[in-house]
Structure 1
Amino acid sequence: MASEATVLTAALGAVLGYVGSEVAEGVMFERLLWPQRFYNHLNFSTALQQGLLMTMGGPLHSAALKTLDVFRSHGLYRGPGRGHFLGTAFYSDKKLRYSLSGNENRPTDDREFRNGFWLEVVRIIDALSHAHQGRRLGPDPENATGHGQARQSFRSTHAVHHIRLSLASKNHPENAPFIPVRHISEDSLTWRTLANVIISESVAVGVGVGSLFVGSYWMVIYMMIPLVLKLLALLLSVRREGLASMLELQKKGSLDESIMLEYFGFEHGFLLLEGPGPAVLQFFRHYGHPFRENHSSVFGSRFREIGCIALVYCFVLYFPAGLILTIWENDSMQYLWLAYQLYSVITMHAIRLLDLQDCSRTEQKVAKFLCSDNKVWLESKNGVTIEATAKTDIVAGYTEGQRIVHERVLQYREKLATK
């Protein structure tokens, strides 16, 4: 007959499997398949969050199956060069649109954000700006009294973000004096990427080491699998588009002509993104998108795609395999495995409820540096370095935010008219 521990582990394991599968998010697999972006920022705070929250040894089978379903619906199973990455875990789609401001001779336009790099940046800036203490709020016209006085009460605060992009080479020519600035790149694997990956599975590795003390050597191997899969994901990560070169930008349009994008979302606040047209629009076209190579090689594009898909499928099997494996383990090991799964489910709830999925990603790094230094340089190997500066104002009321946006758009159009 099965021991009491075996029956308890099977019953609670099934419950945890159901609860965990309901709370697990697909962004976990975006993190797995794009390590250059999602493991790009490392300091004490991010390392602590990675170590405590980002383990992938929990019940992710349902989220993994949904991820594979999206791969299938986008045609990635059909063969070499087939299918589309946009909208999958390889390259998510925000499914949001922005307005392109025009002047009298150029009407406004409405376009897709696609992956929306800067949209993620301002979402994080929005959270950081509201959390900053001591900010002064402007009066809300919606709450103004008849005597011209503004009441102190307000319904909600909003952030107005104005980000300006420019070519760093134009702002800082080679003979210009050196100015310290934050340099950020995400087009290659670095020591930060490897360190973040290892730290993220420190809890699972710790449980594996603990398995040795309860006499379960098979469980040691089992608990190391999430880390091994993440390390394989580093080797199999697909190649992606970097920043465009000067020649590519010039082919897209004039670098002397500026454009301004407008967007509002309750999660992001008001966004104005200004800069040379080709330099700005590359972030909403193909920047970061996986690309395929014409020539075939052992570690070519299709090999990497299949390898990444296989890694996702491994997480379909991982939790059920662990539940079955514990049947032949001793009572202490069963309780240890059950405790780890409970911990994993709790961390997934914390990530989802507290919005902690941004840990260590490039956008978080850019947002923090823009908040502290107000300027960053975004770089890639063969592309033109983009300089970004940001200004954020917190206002009390949607109407006040609209007013500020309207004023800045008018200033932008007046500047265009004088050229």
Structure 2
Amino acid sequence: MQPFFDFLDGYQPQKIMADSSSQLASTVVSPPSSNGEAAVSQMNNVYGALGAVLGYVGAEAATVLTFERLLWPQRFYSNFKLASVPSIALLTPMSGPLHKVGLAVMDKIFQHGLLKGSHQGHMLGTVFFPALGWTYTMHGDDADNPTHTEPLRNCLWARALAYIAMPPINNPGRHGTPDNVEKGNPQAMRARVTVSHLTITPATPADRASTVRFVSEDTQTPSLRVFLGVITSELTAIATAIAVFATWCSAWALLWLIPLFIRLVSTALAIQREQLIRADETSQSSSDRSFNFEIHCPQADGNFMLITGPSTLVLQFFRHYGHPKRDRFREIVQLASIVLFFCVFPLELVISIVWMPIDLQYVWLGYQLYVVFAMHVSRFSHFGTSATTEAKIAEAFGQQMCGRCTAGAERECSILFGHSRDGPETLKVNLSITYHNRYREGQQSLQALLKGGVENHVPRA
């Protein structure tokens, strides 16, 4: 019991309370360094949460078109020029959360058997060679050439016609019929429609020597124009990397250049495509007669389309033109590019949270936010497709038909199309367009073209 009494003798409540108060005050005035670490950790948690939310939102906005642009640069940058720099640079950087659409792309590739090995599987319907999902009807005239309907596959001309903007129409109700009366108003217009009629023939020496505009498309190794288009599409990433290096002198700037590096390698080893056939040999035979090919497309994508020409020349666009040439090494490079792109965002997010300084974290997150915004804009607009071959064809036709037009009036224009102006595969393509106030009027106009016979549609030499 003695130790207990000794403890009581030495017990001084006032001194203990004073010491406790002093310790508490020192704790409040001078918090331990662990609190600072906790604050940083909390900020990292918030940053990680924002990155995860941004990844979810951005993944929903990305489209397959992003990977089509990666794997077919010869077509998507065929029309790259100075006027297309703003839209390409601001709206098509290939960064951000692409994991969801990347997995969907790989699923389609797996389903088509392209992962089995060399020359196995088929590319039609994959990101290598997308299918429109439309059909066409070839209007035959005998047992050897019966009327039949088949898938349109990846038809360049159908895409190009859908790109042509409809100009304003003068006197929209002037050409109405009694069937157009709506609610007692004979001037009522329900929907403006387009009837587009393409005629494809071999280009003659006179055509090649004329001033008719020539539209080309490269199907082999990408040209310098294509590489400039790819670099331009990553200008925002390049500018951000330069700003980061100039401000912090940090090697983290290289993180923004990873997509550009992957795209340049992918472009340098892009898969080559099937070229046009020699028009001067195949289309001159008596057996290769001209036929009408009616395109069945959604009303919002061109309304009514008709293509007339020798079957060999026209059918190549419905079948093999632009199809990838099988090359297993190049295919593996492209598949690796797809995998890298849907892994980049998650890996960069983890790296930025674990190792990147807090200031650079904000820069990285801000750039990803911008990319997601660009994804939403390009998803619901055609700004990012201004450099494609289809846009170049539509532009060539549109420049010859600029201005207002009258409903029912016919407008015509012509271009040459091929790999080189003097090439044996060069074609002359004539376009005749009429605009109508009602869907039924467009339908009647198309039927009139079909009943008119092929011989009335082929231009005279």
Give the TM-score of the pair, scaled to structure 2: 0.80
Matched to 1:156, the amino acid is: A
* Greater CA drift, 135-144 or 158-167: 135-144
Separation in structure 1 between the aligned mates of residue 148 and residue 171 of structure 2, nearest angstrom: 34
- Secondary structure in 2 aligned to 1:354? coil
Q: Is 1:326 the equivalent of 2:360?
A: no
Q: 1:277 aligns with which of 300, 303, 311?
A: 311
The Cα shift of 1:289 comes to: 0.2
Q: 2:102 aligns with which of 46, 53, 64?
A: 64
Counterparts in 2 of 1:288 and 1:145: CA distance versus 1, 3 Å = closer
RMSD: 2.4
- Secondary structure in 1 aligned to 2:264? helix
Q: Is 1:238 the equivalent of 2:271?
A: yes
Q: Is 1:23 the equivalent of 2:33?
A: no
Structure 1 segments of 4+ aligned residues over 6 angstroms from their partners: none
Separation in structure 1 between the aligned mates of residue 210 and residue 87 of structure 2, nearest angstrom: 35
Q: 2:417 aligns with which of 378, 395, 400?
A: 378
Sequence identity percentage = 31
Structure 2: runs of 5 or more not aligned: 1-37, 401-412
Q: Deviations over 1:303-329 (max 9, x none)?
A: 100000000000121001110121222
* Residue equivalent to 2:331: 305
Q: 1:200 aligns with which of 233, 241, 244?
A: 233
The Cα shift of 1:359 comes to: 2.7
The Cα shift of 1:186 comes to: 2.4
Counterparts in 2 of 1:112 and 1:83: CA distance versus 1, 3 Å = same
* Residue equivalent to 2:302: 268
Q: 1:133 aligns with which of 168, 190, 209?
A: 168
Separation in structure 2 between the aligned mates of residue 256 and residue 150 of structure 1, nearest angstrom: 50
Matched to 1:346, the amino acid is: F
Q: Deviations over 1:340-367 (max 9, x none)?
A: 1111111111111224452311011011
Separation in structure 2 between the aligned mates of residue 406 and residue 51 of structure 1, nearest angstrom: 44
Structure 1: runs of 5 or more not aligned: 293-300
Q: Is the Cα–Cα contact under 8 Å of residues 118 and 328 in structure 2 kept in the other structure?
A: yes
Aligned length: 398
Counterparts in 2 of 1:144 and 1:63: CA distance versus 1, 3 Å = closer
Q: Is the Cα–Cα contact under 8 Å of residues 215 and 393 in structure 2 kept in the other structure?
A: no
Matched to 2:197, the amino acid is: H
* Residue equivalent to 1:210: 243
- Secondary structure in 2 aligned to 1:172? helix
Give the TM-score of the pair, scaled to structure 1: 0.88
Q: Is 1:152 the equivalent of 2:187?
A: yes
Q: Is 1:110 the equivalent of 2:149?
A: yes
Q: Is 1:119 the equivalent of 2:153?
A: no
The Cα shift of 1:7 comes to: 2.5
Q: 1:317 aligns with which of 340, 343, 346?
A: 343
Higher relative contact order (CA 8 A, sep 6+): 1
Separation in structure 1 between the aligned mates of residue 290 and residue 205 of structure 2, nearest angstrom: 14
* Residue equivalent to 1:185: 217
* Residue equivalent to 2:92: 54
Counterparts in 2 of 1:354 and 1:369: CA distance versus 1, 3 Å = same
* Greater CA drift, 150-159 or 203-212: 150-159
Matched to 1:94, the amino acid is: L
Greater Rg by CA: 2
Q: What does 1:282-297 align with in structure 2 at a 5 Å threshold?
A: 282-292=316-326
Q: Is the Cα–Cα contact under 8 Å of residues 242 and 383 in structure 1 kept in the other structure?
A: no
Q: 1:258 aligns with which of 290, 311, 315?
A: 290
The Cα shift of 1:248 comes to: 7.0
Q: Is the Cα–Cα contact under 8 Å of residues 290 and 454 in structure 2 kept in the other structure?
A: no
- Secondary structure in 2 aligned to 1:161? strand
Separation in structure 1 between the aligned mates of residue 266 and residue 178 of structure 2, nearest angstrom: 52
Separation in structure 2 between the aligned mates of residue 86 and residue 142 of structure 1, nearest angstrom: 46
- Secondary structure in 2 aligned to 1:272? strand
Separation in structure 2 between the aligned mates of residue 184 and residue 51 of structure 1, nearest angstrom: 23
Q: Is the Cα–Cα contact under 8 Å of residues 160 and 392 in structure 1 kept in the other structure?
A: yes
The Cα shift of 1:111 comes to: 1.4
* Residue equivalent to 1:36: 74
Separation in structure 1 between the aligned mates of residue 454 and residue 274 of structure 2, nearest angstrom: 32
Q: Is the Cα–Cα contact under 8 Å of residues 216 and 329 in structure 1 kept in the other structure?
A: no
